[in-house]
């Protein structure tokens, strides 16, 4: 197997302290952000535990918020969110398992999973959420011995299923999560922990191989998909290492990721949480083990001070950008002036101020920042696979409206699209 770890398990005890410091920015981002949305921080708690970062105060705070939110939002919580809650609370053999049991979270997840599949049956194959979440749900049911029928479920995960693709492009994040889920199922079948026949095992193996190949073909400059899908892709490749032989140049991946860390690419806590496990040689399939870390607790240099933000004394400079809303053949365009350093969302707000009728929009919070749900009251809908796509100079962005920093003279666009 090729070594993609920053800390290969066999060398774990000899690893030099310095390697931990590369990961400090990620750890600090996760530790220092303000967590107000309980369920959204399940991903962060999961990673903190999985990689063995012990910070009791933070763990307690996150656990409490997650539990409160789970109780409060029970009916509206999605399958993937509930899966993350179970993974986070149950990770690494700790006392929160009691909450999972008392609140019957695993059987509730089973019901959410069923509802996703029922929605596919009644809405031309479209789940309530998406296949990333369905995969998370299957992974969690598998890891926590929930009930699901292998024979019924596996066919939905054929790599030909349209839900792996957005706009005809393979979603590497989705594929990676599916590989993790299917690998868990495969191992359960092999250990006879779950009922299945030989055909099911064969299918599972074929699907894993094909999905892994799709992930490998999405490799550019060391990254699988883009920088934000690389961590979970690495996890998928770790667990399926006998499916790919001599897949060269993991060093290139590591180098590119470390460079991106130094450039602040993972400034969102969720982004940090999704890349860190892989860098420490962990995968979501490890959640039932005892978790420990080569870097923890002393070798991580966790600072609880807020990072210093330098406020320039000079008066702000302004840039102007072009902004348009496209609905089918119809364009509404304008030019707006915003402060240098503004993000896409600032441009949308400025345009809305100029012309409410053409540019009004609504957004929702997501773990990745604001998600644009409607423009001119036209609303994204999973049953129709419609959404508002963000573009710059005609190219889709790989960051959301709250993160993408706009440049002078750029052509920005939100386009009514189908995925
Ligand atoms: N998480 C989820 O359910 C999200 C799964 C995910 C595959 C996710 C990426 C991957 C991840 N690691 O979390 C995903 N995106 C999905 C499923 C979707 C679709 C959402 C609707 C649905 N059916 O559930 C959809 C509509 C195809 C989509 N993502 C749209 C967008 C655009 C949002 C624009 C808007 N209206 O606000 C956008 C900005 C792409 C564009 N150019 O329009 C987009 N996604 C991006 C960039 C991303 C990445 C975010 C990276 C970043 N730094 O902000 C992403 C990580 C992610 C979140 N999407 Co989607 C993919 C990537 O670039 N690697 C589970 C739940 C419990 O939280």
Beta bridge partners of 116: none
Does 388 sit in the ligand 1 pocket, CB within 6 Å? yes
Q: Per mean pLDDT, which range of 6-15, 35-44, 71-80, 330-339 is the poorest?
A: 6-15
Q: Report pLDDT for 308.
A: 60
Closest C-alpha to 153, from 182, 129, 123: 182
* Mean pLDDT (whole number) for 226-250: 82
* 416 labeled part of a ligand binding site: no
Instruction: Please give the average per-residue pLDDT across 3-17, as a whole number.
Output: 50
Pocket residue to mutate for ligand 1, from 45, 120, 398, 405, most atoms within 8 A of Cβ: 398
**Model confidence at 17, in pLDDT bands (50, 70, 90)?**
low
Position 11 scores a pLDDT of 43
Cα of 125 vs centre of ligand 1, distance in Å, is 19
Mean pLDDT (whole number) for 306-331: 83
> Which range, of 11-15, 91-95, 138-142, 372-376, averages the lowest pLDDT?
11-15
* Stated pTM of the model: 0.94
Tell whether the model's pLDDT for residue 76 goes beyond 60: yes
129 annotated as belonging to a binding site for a ligand: yes
Mean pLDDT of all residues in 331-335: 97
What is the whole-number distance in angstroms between the Cα of residue 110 and the centre of ligand 1? 24
Q: Complex ipTM, two decimals?
A: 0.99
Nearest CA to ligand 1 atom 14: 132
Reported as a single tens digit per residue, the pLDDT across 363-417 is 999 999 999 999 999 999 999 999 999 999 999 999 999 999 999 999 999 999 9
The closest residue, in CA terms, to atom 54 on ligand 1 is 399
Is 64 labeled as ligand-binding? Answer: no
User: Which atom of ligand 1 lies at the shortest distance from residue 80's CA?
Assistant: 67
d(CA 65, CA 62): 5
Give mean pLDDT, residues 18-29.
87
Within a 10 A sphere around the Cβ of 353, how many other Cβ atoms? 10
Residue of higher predicted confidence among 311 and 130: 130
Triad 68, 71, 73: Cα angle to 5°: 100
Ligand 1 contacts CB of residue 81 (under 6 A): yes
Q: Say how many Å lie between the CA of residue 169 and the centre of ligand 1.
A: 13
At residue 126, does pLDDT exceed 50? yes
Q: How far apart are CA 403 and CA 407, in angstroms?
A: 13
Examine the pLDDT at 9 and tell me if it is beyond 90: no
| 142 has pLDDT over 90 | yes
DSSP for residue 343: B
| Average pLDDT in the chain | 91
Residue 361 Cβ inside 6 Å of ligand 1? The answer reads: no
Of 59, 50, 11, 62, nearest to 277 by C-alpha is 50
């Amino acid at each position: 197997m090729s070594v993609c770890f920053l800390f290969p398990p066999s060398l774990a005890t000899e690893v030099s302290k310095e390697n931990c410091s590369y990961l400090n920015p990620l750890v600090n981002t996760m530790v220092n952000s303000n967590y107000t949305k309980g369920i959204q921080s399940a991903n962060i708690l999961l990673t903190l535990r999985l990689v063995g970062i012990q910070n009791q105060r933070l763990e307690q705070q996150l656990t409490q918020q997650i539990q409160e939110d789970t109780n409060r939002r029970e009916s509206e919580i999605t399958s993937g969110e509930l899966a993350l809650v179970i993974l986070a609370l149950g990770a690494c053999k700790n006392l929160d398992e009691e909450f999972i049991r008392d609140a019957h979270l695993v059987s509730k997840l089973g019901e959410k999973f069923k509802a996703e599949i029922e929605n596919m049956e009644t809405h031309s194959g479209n789940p309530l959420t998406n296949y990333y979440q369905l995969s998370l749900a299957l992974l969690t049911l598998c890891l926590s011995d929930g009930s699901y029928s292998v024979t019924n479920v596996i066919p939905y995960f054929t790599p030909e299923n349209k839900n792996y693709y957005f706009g005809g492009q393979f979603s590497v994040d989705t594929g990676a999560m599916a590989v993790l889920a299917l690998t868990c199922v495969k191992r359960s079948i092999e250990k006879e922990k779950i009922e299945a026949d030989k055909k099911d095992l064969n299918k599972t193996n074929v699907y894993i191989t094909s999905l892994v190949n799709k992930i490998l073909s999405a490799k550019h400059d060391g990254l699988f998909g883009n920088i934000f899908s690389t961590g979970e892709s690495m996890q998928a490749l770790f667990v399926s290492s006998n499916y790919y032989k001599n897949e060269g140049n993991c060093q290139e991946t590591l180098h590119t990721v470390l460079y991106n860390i130094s450039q602040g690419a993972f400034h969102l806590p969720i982004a940090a949480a999704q890349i860190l496990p892989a860098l420490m040689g962990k995968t979501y399939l490890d959640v039932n083990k005892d978790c420990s870390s080569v870097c923890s607790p002393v070798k991580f240099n966790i600072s609880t001070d807020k990072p210093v933000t330098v406020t320039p004394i000079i008066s702000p400079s302004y840039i102007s950008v072009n902004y348009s809303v496209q609905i089918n053949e119809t364009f509404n365009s304008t030019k707006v002036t915003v402060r240098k350093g503004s993000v896409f969302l600032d441009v949308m707000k400025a345009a809305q101020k100029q012309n409410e009728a053409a540019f009004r929009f609504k957004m929702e919070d997501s773990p990745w920042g604001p998600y644009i749900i409607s423009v001119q009251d036209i609303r994204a809908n999973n049953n129709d696979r419609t959404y508002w796509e963000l573009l710059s100079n005609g190219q889709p962005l790989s960051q959301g409206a709250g993160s993408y920093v706009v440049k002078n003279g750029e052509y920005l666009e939100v386009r009514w699209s189908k995925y």
